[in-house]
Every structure is written in structure tokens, then in C-alpha cells.
Chains A and B, each alone.
Chain A
């Protein structure tokens, strides 16, 4: 429903009053900055009195020190003066007349085929035509200007983009347009011009600028690129995945579907299955960052198992050592037994002692 002349006048008056409030709000910073300049001047005044005293009493050495202080105080003066100048310039915004704002609204109604005002939320809005970028249909959008926020010019509060027929990115419902996220447009190159237009009450120019951003695609800086608008192809199997079903491999830096992705059991980093290797000790899949080489056998092993000395080669070495030890012990035992047996043979082979009486002949 188009706005009546009376409604347009009322809205134009509201806009103008908000801009006046904004302009008046810029007086306070001038007061603050002016105070800084005056402080510096007072300091210089005090130093001048000191210099007079030094001159009168021929305190030349002290005078030199005061000169240094004057030098230091003078360094800050241009900065503070520039600050005042900038804040004064910000006050020199020309507020458009009621007639001019009214004509702005009339022009906006013509350029956009209608102007609406959402009374309950104080939103002045225009409708874009259905937007299609690179063959992707994004639907119509309502560019909504929050009129009360004109008095403050807070960036995030002043205007929003509402998708009437949303066709959001598959990976993020809040991205209804490559340059719109959660209703907020990132205006890029139009930022300064949009701010200037709103501050000057050029409402139609504001709407036109926003539309110019929305009807043009910047492939270098979208929230979601149009190439991935309907989802992302898995790097491994090629299936299209979107939203929470897309996983990023931190190793090879590609996107994967849920079936082709996993995670390192040591650092919990999300990876694809191809970038994981199985640790021979614990048999867990680990990423290359968590994999190292055993200094003894130079086989791959996860760092945790290495620290806990779980490499199979350690156990193998231990087994070998145990076997060697057993073997050595067995040999020693065998050798020791043979000597002992020899001694028995000697005893057994000892000559037998006769039992017949021994005759003794007297010589």
C-alpha cells in the first residue's frame, strides 16, 4: 500500500528531527577537545611565567630546562588543535529542509516502485526486484531503514536487509545473499557513500547505493561464495554436502563429507581419512602432526606411544635380550654341568682297593 502525502510528510519530519538530534550530539565532543587545547595553553602560560622568573633572577641553567619543557608542550598543540578542527567540521553538516527530505522520499518511491513504512518497528523500506547473481536466484529483499537510529548513526542498528523469499546458502541459513549475513549487509566500497547519504538525509541515494551492492557480486569477499551456494563437493568422493555435514581437513585443507572425514585420536583435529595414519603401537588413527619416528627403528609411531616407550621395537629388543640372556644362562648351565660330571667320572675311575691281607716280608 503506497504512503499518503500526509504520511510522507510525517516521516520526512521525523527523519529531519533525527538528523538535527545527530548534529546537536556532535557539540559535546567539541567541548572535550577544546578543553584539551586550553589545558595545553595554560601549561604554556605557566612555563612562560617560569621563564620570566628565570630571566629576572639570571637563573640561566634553570631557564634552559624550562625551554625544553616549552618544546615538549608545543609538540602536542597541533594534534589537539587538529582534533578540535575535525570535530567542528563534523558539526558543519547541512540539515536538509523538510521539503528536500519529502522530495527524497518521493524519489525513492519512484525508483523502487513503492515505499513502505512499518509503523510498529519504525522501519522505512523499499523492495528490490528479484535478485539473481550468476544464475543463482536469491529472491526479493526489503531494504529496511530504522528511522530513529538516524539520530545516532550506529552502524549495526541503522539498516537491515530482509529476505522476503529467502534462498540462503546451503552451508549457512543466515547468509541470504553473498554479502548479507544475519540481515546485515557488508557494504564494502559503498560504506562511505552510504554514511554520507544518510547523514545528509539523502534517503533515496542510500537505498540506491544499497541496491547497487546487492545487485553486484564480489567474488573476492563474500560470506559464502556463489560457487558453494548450493553446497560443497567432497574432495574425496565428489558428493555434495552442506551445513554441518561439511568437514574441513586441517592437513590437506579441503572440504569433505561425513563419510570421508575423521579426526586424529591424539589432538582431535578434524581431518579426512586419507590424511590419517595408523600408529603401529596403539593402532589409533593419528594426523601427521602427531606422528613421529622411533629413534631406534625409525618406524612411524605416534608421539604419545613414543613417550610411553610403546614402540614394538622396544618390546622386540627386550624379547631378544631375554632370549639371549636365557640362551647364555642355558649355555653356562650346560658348561658347568659337564665339569661336574667329569669329576664324578674321576672318582668312579679311581683304582680299587684290595681287600686281601697284605703280607709283609721281614727283610
Chain B
């Protein structure tokens, strides 16, 4: 199935990705943002907060935005 993934960590680009049926939000996070804690991210599916075990559906729009980003001077 195909979903739209907007990764606001780094470049902030949006891509259509193919994911396996039954993939949960938590699993998808682990695949895309390795080595990071989901608690440090704002995760939205179709603009709504979701539980980690929510299963992704075809056509879902998922965004992941870090909550701690280093500014500068």
C-alpha cells in the first residue's frame, strides 16, 4: 500500500512510500527514523494524533516532526 510520508527531520521532504500491509505507526517510525525515540517526535496520521499501534492504511498521510531542534545564533 502507498502512503505519503512527510519527514520534518532534516530536509523536510514529502515522499510517497510503499509499506507492507499491517505496518503500525511505531513500526513505520522505526523503519524511517532509526535510533531515535518516538517520544521526541510529533507524529500525526492524517493530521491527527494516533496511538503507536495504529495500523497504517492505504493513502494515509503521516508526518513526523522533531520536538527538539537546535537553533543557532
A interface residues (Cβ-Cβ under 8 A, vs B) = 103, 106-107, 178-179, 181, 185-190, 192-197, 200, 202, 204-205, 208-209, 212-216, 218, 220-223
Chain A residues near B10 (CB, 8 Å)? 192-193
Chain B residues near A106 (CB, 8 Å)? 47
Q: Tell me the bound Cα distance from A310 to B55 in angstroms.
A: 89
Partner of B70 from A181, A185, A200, A216 at Cβ < 8 Å? A216
Chain B residues near A216 (CB, 8 Å)? 67-71
CB <8 Å contact, B72 and A196: no
CB <8 Å contact, B72 and A187: yes
Q: Tell me the bound Cα distance from A92 to B70 in angstroms.
A: 30
B interface residues (Cβ-Cβ under 8 A, vs A) = 6, 8-14, 42, 44, 47, 63, 65-73
**Which interface residue of B6, B69, B70, B71 has the most chain A CB atoms within 10 A?**
B71
Nearest Cβ on chain A to B59's Cβ, whole angstroms: 14
CB <8 Å contact, A202 and B67: no
Chain A residues near B13 (CB, 8 Å)? 196
Nearest Cβ on chain A to B71's Cβ, whole angstroms: 3
Chain B residues near A178 (CB, 8 Å)? 71, 73
Q: Tell me the bound Cα distance from A205 to B13 in angstroms.
A: 11
**Which interface residue of B6, B10, B68, B72 has the most chain A CB atoms within 10 A?**
B72
CB-nearest residue of chain B relative to A221? B72
Partner of A212 from B14, B65, B72 at Cβ < 8 Å? B65
Q: Tell me the bound Cα distance from A213 to B12 in angstroms.
A: 14
Q: Tell me the bound Cα distance from A194 to B72 in angstroms.
A: 14
CB <8 Å contact, B68 and A222: no
Chain A residues near B63 (CB, 8 Å)? 205
CB-nearest residue of chain B relative to A200? B14
CB <8 Å contact, B42 and A208: yes
Partner of A209 from B8, B14, B73 at Cβ < 8 Å? B8
Q: Tell me the bound Cα distance from A106 to B12 in angstroms.
A: 21
Q: Tell me the bound Cα distance from A205 to B8 in angstroms.
A: 8
CB <8 Å contact, B65 and A205: yes
Partner of B73 from A107, A181, A200, A214 at Cβ < 8 Å? A181
Chain A residues near B47 (CB, 8 Å)? 103, 106-107, 204
Q: Tell me the bound Cα distance from A211 to B44 in angstroms.
A: 16
A193-B8, A200-B14 known; A212-B73 Cβ under 8 A: no
Chain A residues near B71 (CB, 8 Å)? 178-179, 185-190, 213-214, 216, 218, 221-222
Q: Tell me the bound Cα distance from A194 to B11 in angstroms.
A: 9
CB-nearest residue of chain B relative to A108? B47
Q: Tell me the bound Cα distance from A187 to B42 in angstroms.
A: 18
CB-nearest residue of chain A relative to B7? A193
CB <8 Å contact, B72 and A186: yes
CB <8 Å contact, B73 and A194: no
CB <8 Å contact, B12 and A212: no
A197-B8, A202-B6, A205-B12 known; A215-B73 Cβ under 8 A: no
CB <8 Å contact, B11 and A193: yes
Q: Tell me the bound Cα distance from A186 to B73 in angstroms.
A: 6
Q: Tell me the bound Cα distance from A186 to B8 in angstroms.
A: 17
CB-nearest residue of chain A relative to B72? A188
Partner of B8 from A107, A181, A208, A222 at Cβ < 8 Å? A208
The 3 closest A-B CB pairs, nearest first, are A193-B12, A179-B71, A188-B72
Chain B residues near A220 (CB, 8 Å)? 70
Q: Tell me the bound Cα distance from A208 to B6 in angstroms.
A: 13
CB <8 Å contact, B6 and A212: no
Q: Tell me the bound Cα distance from A218 to B69 in angstroms.
A: 8
CB <8 Å contact, B72 and A179: yes
Chain A residues near B66 (CB, 8 Å)? 212
**Which interface residue of B12, B14, B42, B67 has the most chain A CB atoms within 10 A?**
B12
